[in-house]
Chain A
């Protein structure tokens, strides 16, 4: 049981390049989330999804796009990377009506934009 898996774990991009981060969960969770974490700022919600085929904006959605074509996968795309998008990105998932409401996190993906 892998839980939540993020790929890649590290990536260096040049300004203007594009890339996609993949989040995969094997727990049959309905909800999935993408966060970014910068020093001293906690986790800021980028986009989230409450089910296959649905997505919604979070607190800091600009510059990012997402897709949830399959229930187990949530993709985060950067169309034209900027240095301000240098961050650690975390994916999380949770059950539709879980007893604890707990979010299960991936190990994070460190992205550097030069």
Chain B
């Protein structure tokens, strides 16, 4: 059974802190790993990772994939209150099924 697991499930940090969110997966015929940010409504796309060891960056956010150990991390540096959201990790599997993890709820307090 395809499975995506995230940790921690919730996290509270102060502005300026750096956070690391974890995602591990066990899926059939892995094709890619996706990160999304969800605030009030629909998830918004952050990154897609397909190759091990290649870091993707966008501003203060970065992510990397380890296909040998079957996990990915999402780093957020110098957190701001606007980073408060649920961060979702997903894996695209064989037949283009996309499975999501439970999400990490991040709260950034001033």
Contacts and interface: CB of A to CB of B under 8 A. Distances in A.
Contacts of A40: 9, 102-103
A84 to B, nearest CB: 18
Contacts of A43: 43, 88, 90, 100
Contacts, number: 61
B100 A101 contact: no
A50 B96 contact: yes
Given A35-B100, A42-B88, A45-B100, A107 B41 contact: yes
Interface of B: 2, 6, 9, 31-32, 34, 36, 41-43, 45, 48, 50, 88, 90, 92, 95-103
A62 interface: no
B73 to A, nearest CB: 17
Interface of A: 31, 33, 35, 40-45, 48, 50, 56, 58-59, 90, 92, 94, 100-103, 105-108
Contacts of A42: 6, 88, 100-103
B98 A102 contact: no
Contacts of B103: 40, 42
B99 A45 contact: yes
Contacts of B50: 101
Given A101-B32, A101-B92, A45 B48 contact: no
B101 A58 contact: no
5 contacts: A90-B43, A92-B98, A102-B45, A103-B98, A105-B42
Given A101-B32, A101-B92, A102-B34, A45 B45 contact: no
Given A44-B100, A50-B95, A90-B43, 10 more contacts: A40-B9, A42-B101, A50-B96, A101-B32, A101-B34, A101-B48, A101-B50, A103-B34, A103-B36, A103-B43
